[in-house]
Amino acid sequence: MTFTDTLTETSSLDTCPTGKTWQIADIFELYELPFNDLLFLAQQVHRAHFSANKIQLSTLLSIKTGGCEEDCAYCPQSVHHKTGLTAEKLMPVEEVLQAARVAKENGATRFCMGAAWRSLKDRHLEAIKQMIRGVKDLGLETCVTLGMLEKHQVEVLREAGLDYYNHNLDTSPEFYRQIISTRTYQDRIDTLKRVRDAGIHVCCGGIVGMGESRRERAGLIAQLANMNPYPESVPVNNLVQVPGTPLAGVEALDPFEFVRTIAVARITMPQAMVRLSAGREQMNEALQALCFLAGANSIFYGDRLLTTGNPVRDADKELFDRLGIESLSI
């Protein structure tokens, strides 16, 4: 009997409890399934934990753009790459809150704020705290991504009422050094542990299509799924190639491989919000629909995704109407 036979015939399909250890070989076996079988499994898991036709709308705002010290090969905001992006200062609190008001008016229930920093500086803590509290007062779920954090900084974010902290692993440990040299994998794990220990929900995923192998994609999923507990929020990004970055010109990922990654994330982390994130602008409607079928139940909604484009609001609404999908309320 194979691993997938066991998955189908036992209750693990519905529960996949926290504490289950996923071997890379098991995850690779999921990737190797016939496409229809994989999506069937993923849809079963999805329906056991979520409404099949509801998607959370999230908005992501770059509150501090450019000038990052890291050398992430995919990122146009790095000072190491010549992408023509100008470094900016932290946005004023009221401008951020106004953007959050507009996001809510447009249907978003989650507001994410991203700053291009290697790590959060204490001098920015008060402004960040005001942003979090202001967004929460609007009735929106809050998420921030601010780079690496120290314990006292995490405590401030918790006291401000932060719902989620985003800190992606990006890729598997084996492939990581080909993408980033200025921050270690353990640095990322340490920040995630501080966030989890403070009682803040974890938003953690990665990027595919950076030249990694299928086994390395399975390695990323294994890292995420074997966290105890696994992240409540898992953004799956498809590389957006930006001229001037080292990954510009890399061979694009096969679209069905991206859908497979969504499905495998859903099966291995059944109760997580699986977020269809960067790269959606390059996806046609049929591909997006397959991602929803595979278990994605959150999208970023609006014209921009940090510094890259994102499908416009009216196009998303039209697609939802055609698919019979409703937006998820808080």
* Residues identified as active-site: 68, 72, 75, 112, 143, 203, 275
Contact at 8 Å (CB) between 242 and 205? no
Pairing of strands 304-305, 308-309: antiparallel
Contact at 8 Å (CB) between 88 and 66? yes
Contact at 8 Å (CB) between 64 and 307? no
Q: SS3 of 60, please?
A: strand
Contact at 8 Å (CB) between 147 and 118? yes
Q: Which of 180, 242, 228 is nearest to 206 (CA)?
A: 180
- Number of DSSP helices (H) and strands (E) in the chain, helices first: 13, 12
User: What is the C-alpha separation between 183 and 285, in angstroms, rounded?
Assistant: 36
Q: Which of 232, 158, 220 is nearest to 195 (CA)?
A: 158
Contact at 8 Å (CB) between 305 and 76? no
